[in-house]
Amino acid sequence: MEEQTTPSATPFVLGIETSCDETAAAIVDGSGTIHANVVFSQIEDHAPYGGVVPEIAARAHLDHLQPVIARTLEEAGLSFADLDAVAATGGPGLIGGVMVGTMTAKAIAMARGIPYLAINHLEAHALTARLTDRVAFPYLLLLVSGGHCQLIAVEGLGRYRRLGTTIDDAVGEAFDKTAKLLGMGYPGGPALESAAANGDPQRFDLPRPMVGKPGCDFSFSGLKTAVRQKIEALGKATDQDIADIAACFQEAVAGSLVNRCRNAIALFNADHGTGHALVVAGGVAANQRLCGALSDLADASGMSFTAPPIALCTDNAAMVAWAGVERLQAGESDPLSFAPRPRWPLDPDAPKAAGAGVKA
């Protein structure tokens, strides 16, 4: 990190997000006003493959990033000359896309002579509740997306303590894979949630992964296998069967997440005392059933509950710009020699979770 000598009081920061399958740019100022927030989703490019294809994603970012930035400036009514800094996701993520966003941000920073910030994508999700709801440090964060499933004590800017992570699949990945088993398209999370709305959450007995086990780690691969077995046992599943399985799956995930969060709240409160916020972030936070269950848990635990609006929960660049604002206002920036990081844990000192395949 490099020291920034004269940060503007209300800097205008351009954010760039290219770590997965959204090509996004946004402009946020120091007061938290979002002047433009443009997201180009590549879903149609990846849908035929049932998941994100890294090579296709990287090429699509290359095609779309420049027009997305041009549209962002136009919607904000600003030009490159109005920018005080440029922040881009520097990892973790699919490296081809991260390189496209990083090089674009560096080029703008170099041409304009303004600071460049390499943003950790997880930090951007983690700080979103401060952009949307001004949540004060410290708070307990449940980060649930297609690539990540973590419980993190957010103690301050740059101070993150991981309390739990997944030992196999991320929860969004579990939604996507289960939706695929149920014959739904990609991404599966939203489709599974709407199918579940017409289903009976009591009909099938599915395991509640990790419930009753100590600690805050997650596991979803057993649940996915149980769903596969139910589908095979049904033979030809009707629409009602599918809706019922979707509802039971969603209920099992909610039960598991609530149980792991309850353990995390106990650990968090032991360090920070009671009365802080429980925050959920990442694409899976769009799920209303999960948010309802987490909100009830927060109520019962004497915590406030914050779930940012859906458009700021799924991948976007406003969260990247905001993380840039926070770091810039703390006097930070990064050198243009920053190298994109496919893995970039928020808490490098976190103990490893028990089990194989632990994600950063």
Binding residues for ligand KG4, per CB under 6 A? 20, 145-147, 172, 175-176, 187-190, 193, 282-284, 286-287, 314-315
Which of ligand KG4, Zn ion, none interacts with 223 (beta carbon under 5 to 8 A by kind)?
none
Which of ligand KG4, Zn ion, none interacts with 286 (beta carbon under 5 to 8 A by kind)?
ligand KG4
Task: Give dist(CA 108, CA 353) in Å, integer.
Answer: 40
Part of the chain binding Zn ion (CB under 5 A), chosen from 53-61, 97-105, 149-157, 307-315: 307-315
- The SS3 of residue 150 is strand
Part of the chain binding Zn ion (CB under 5 A), chosen from 26-34, 145-153, 224-232, 246-254: 145-153
Q: How far is CA 303 from CA 82, 217, 274, 279, in A?
A: 40, 21, 7, 10
Complete DSSP assignment for 207-221: --TTTT-SSS-B--H
Give the 3-state secondary structure percentages of the chain, helix then strand then coil, rounded to 5.
45, 20, 35
Contact 17, 97 (CB under 8 A): no
315 part of the interface to Zn ion, by CB under 5 A: yes
CB nearer to ligand KG4: give 84 or 176.
Answer: 176
Part of the chain binding Zn ion (CB under 5 A), chosen from 131-139, 140-148, 163-171, 220-228: 140-148
Task: Give dist(CA 271, CA 163) in Å, integer.
Answer: 12
CB nearer to ligand KG4: give 12 or 175.
Answer: 175
Range 341-344 contact pairs with CB under 8 angstroms and sequence separation of 24 or more: 341/90, 341/91, 341/92, 341/98, 342/91, 342/92, 342/93, 342/94, 342/95, 342/98, 343/91, 343/92, 344/90, 344/91, 344/92, 344/120, 344/121, 344/122
Which of Zn ion, ligand KG4, none interacts with 176 (beta carbon under 5 to 8 A by kind)?
ligand KG4
Contact 126, 280 (CB under 8 A): no
CB nearer to ligand KG4: give 335 or 357.
Answer: 357
Number of residues in contact with Zn ion, rule: CB under 5 A?
Answer: 2
CB nearer to ligand KG4: give 4 or 287.
Answer: 287
We find the least distance from the C-beta atom of residue 242 to Zn ion, in angstroms, to be 27
Task: Of 289, 304, 217, give the one whose Cα is nearest residue 253.
Answer: 289
Task: Of 184, 207, 208, give the one whose Cα is nearest residue 196.
Answer: 184
- Rounded to the nearest 5 degrees, what angle is found at the Cα of 139, between the Cα atoms of 296 and 313? 70
120 part of the interface to Zn ion, by CB under 5 A: no
CB nearer to ligand KG4: give 148 or 230.
Answer: 148
CB nearer to ligand KG4: give 305 or 336.
Answer: 305
We find the least distance from the C-beta atom of residue 129 to Zn ion, in angstroms, to be 14
Contact 342, 93 (CB under 8 A): yes
Task: Give dist(CA 357, CA 181) in Å, integer.
Answer: 22
We find the least distance from the C-beta atom of residue 62 to Zn ion, in angstroms, to be 20
We find the least distance from the C-beta atom of residue 295 to Zn ion, in angstroms, to be 21
We find the least distance from the C-beta atom of residue 88 to ligand KG4, in angstroms, to be 15
CB nearer to Zn ion: give 148 or 177.
Answer: 148
- Give the residues across from 164 on adjacent strands: 151
145 part of the interface to Zn ion, by CB under 5 A: yes
Task: Give dist(CA 346, CA 91) in Å, integer.
Answer: 11
Part of the chain binding Zn ion (CB under 5 A), chosen from 137-145, 252-260, 318-326, 328-336: 137-145
CB nearer to ligand KG4: give 58 or 267.
Answer: 58
Which of Zn ion, ligand KG4, none interacts with 153 (beta carbon under 5 to 8 A by kind)?
none
Q: Which residues bind Zn ion (CB under 5 A)?
A: 145, 315
